[in-house]
Chain A
Amino acid sequence: MTATTGAGRPSTGTEPVLSMTGINKRFGAVQALTDVSFSVNSGEVVALVGDNGAGKSTLVKVMSGAGPSDSGQILFEGRPVSIPSPSASQNLGIATVFQDLALCDNLDVVGNLFLGSEITLGGVALDEAEMERRSWELLKTLAAKIPSVRIPVASLSGGQRQTVAISRSLLGNPKVVILDEPTAALGVAQTAQVLNLVERLRDRGLAVILISHNMADVQAVADRVVVLRLGRNAGEFDARQVSTTELVAAITGASDNVVAERAAREHRTAGSEGTNA
């Protein structure tokens, strides 16, 4: 049932920075993840898609350490590792930006970027000048458009807040960045802004895992698309070649039967020709 069309990628020769095989996770009577495998290379954007309850969040929690798996093997840069806690995940070099961003509205951009890892003078007083300099440096490398780092994040737009949250995750020099629904609730221009940022992360050589419901965003920015359905792998596609219809079919399960899937596709293409194309 796994339809792999992503063969011949330029990155297939390199070793994945993070790869997981045979991941199982169970909540009481519910088998949330069954024998799931997933991998991501440096300088690659992998989109993780699936319907509600497909197991995307559970898989993200396995990677971020918030909900360790029951069984399965995790390799980080080729070494077998376990990720029992969020700090273990961060120490490996995996940064997770959750959907709720977790920013302090009352603090300014610098305060949020360095929260919990402030630079101090002699261990006591905050070194605001140094933190502000590094903030500008970081925002400049990301070409992020934030007019001032001394305004509270409460007054920033949704896209700017997302930028701050993503920038914050980069301060620990991670190798893998997980973005959970970064474009949900954003306008058109702001979505484009965040997608640009995702591309810049890839250009910096980071492995980016993008969880999204938005097929247009996924196809715009991802290299590879991994589909989950009901806690199982339901396909892996080359984002440049896959059509929205194929993705939707994999997500909803219409591709369970290859014949039915082909038929449905032909039917749909034929039906939409008059209205769409």
Chain B
Amino acid sequence: MTTTNTPTDPAEKPAEGAVAADLLDPRLIQARGPAGYLSALVQRLKSGDIGSLPIVVGLVVIVIVFQSLNDTFLNAFNLVNLCLQIASLTIIALGITLVLLLGEIDLSIGSVSGVAAAIVAVANATHGVNPWLSVLMAVIAGSAIGLLHGIVFTKIGVPSFVITLAGLLGWLGVQLQILGEQGTVNLPPTGTLLDLGQQKFLPTWLTYTLGLALVVLYVVTALTGSARRRKAGLSGQPIWVTAVVAVFLVVVVVALASKLGIDRGLPWIFLFSVALVLIFDWIIRRTKYGRAILAVGGNIEAARRAGIKVDAIRTSVFVLCSTLAAIGGVIAAMRLGFANQQSGAGDVLVNSIAAAVIGGTSLFGGRTRRYAPLLGAVVIGAIANGLALMSLSSSVKYIITGTVLLGAVVIDAASSRGRKSSGR
């Protein structure tokens, strides 16, 4: 607010002169310069507005523990594997995040992802359908399932818990039907899908290019956003903050790209899942549709009175959730090379919900942290991966994942108490 001066239209300047309209209230504690900004940040953390800090700290702890127990954890080969492993989980968790934002639940995501895996495998391998057409069929089936859930939920008024519980069983039955007698269908060993799921990686130069393009995109949106705010007589983000964040992002991009480049590189399926998370993050925070989802999750009566078509929003979110679950199921089948009766079963459902919650999505609707599905999936994937490296049994994996989930919920509850007591 003091460092830069964008040319502003004098008519739009606030009457008070230099002070922006959102900083006029004398009760606001003003943060000036880097030191002030830092102390404001510390103040925010103290008051319980902790952002993604717990998950970052948690990840650091996980990395330190597993790396000290087994030094192959952080090598390039294992990190590429981790990326492959969490692509499907990230996408399914993204879907359930949207449903959780409404304050609802979808228990059928595992079964729906299994149905999609079965459809793509049977169509492509058994009936020789074009691979992309098979994928399209599986995804459309997912959307149709979501539409059915949404309509039963909004028009008949059956609680989402019950519909999707029925869906959990029902769609599992459909999955077994599609797979038929043999139970396991392998994808064609030299086919496009298997290749994309297991063998396709970005060349390192492309990883760099994409990563740096993202940083440029961040800088441009931050600068134009601040300029717009200043033009409107509000305070903008100081340019040095933008610079610090940009430098930090460049470091992350270079570190990741060079590390993954030592081995096979960044998997296409992981890039796809990250892109979906970024796109939906933007939709939730920056569009009318996303605002409507948050409003329905926050206070459905307020949303209705504001003229939001509540039923349409809810139905669309169930469609999105099942569609994303189907995409996740297809990607899981592509990575594993087959679909069987266990596809989408076991811990897919609980891991997806856990990833969304660990990432900072509230179970009560209306609140999520940025990139929650991705960060949560990284935590869960890292734990599973690290324990597998140490060849520990799945009993230990379940106990640790459960503990981390509980910890995440406890931290969220504690921080929201802090938010309330300090008036945020």
Contact = CB atoms under 8 A, between A and B. Distances in A.
Interface of A: 86-87, 98, 100, 102-107, 111-112, 115-118, 120, 124-127, 129-130, 132-133, 136-137, 140, 145-152, 154-155
Contact of A118 (B22, B233, B291): B291
B22 A152 contact: no
A140 to B, nearest CB: 8
Interface stretch (B105-113, B120-128, B246-254, B305-313): B305-313
B419 A155 contact: yes
A107 B22 contact: no
B309 to A, nearest CB: 10
Given A102-B305, A146-B25, 10 more contacts: A105-B299, A106-B294, A115-B302, A116-B295, A124-B288, A126-B288, A129-B228, A130-B232, A147-B28, A155-B424
B25 A148 contact: yes
Query: Chain B binding site: helix, strand, loop or mixed by DSSP?
Result: helix
5 contacts: A102-B299, A103-B299, A106-B294, A129-B229, A149-B22
Query: Chain A binding site: helix, strand, loop or mixed by DSSP?
Result: loop
B395 interface: no
B424 A104 contact: no
B234 A129 contact: yes
Contacts, number: 101
A98 B305 CA distance: 10
Contacts of A136: 21-22, 233-234
Contacts of A118: 288, 291
Given A148-B22, A148-B25, A132 B232 contact: yes
A61 B233 CA distance: 40
B46 interface: no
B231 interface: yes
A140 B14 CA distance: 12
Contact of B294 (A100, A107, A140, A147): A107
Contact of A104 (B22, B298, B419): B298
A218 to B, nearest CB: 26
Given A106-B297, A116-B308, A124 B287 contact: yes
A150 B22 contact: yes
B420 interface: yes
Contacts of A132: 21-22, 229, 232, 234
Contacts of A117: 306-307
A209 to B, nearest CB: 18
B333 to A, nearest CB: 34
B291 A111 contact: yes
B367 A106 contact: yes
Contacts of A150: 22
B155 interface: no
A107 B285 CA distance: 11
B229 A104 contact: no
Interface in B347-388: 365-367
A125 B286 contact: yes
Contacts of B288: 118, 120, 124, 126
B233 A133 contact: yes
B21 A133 contact: yes
Among B22, B234, B302, max chain A CB count under 10 A is at B302
B301 interface: yes
B232 A104 contact: no
Contacts of B58: none
Nearest to A145: B25
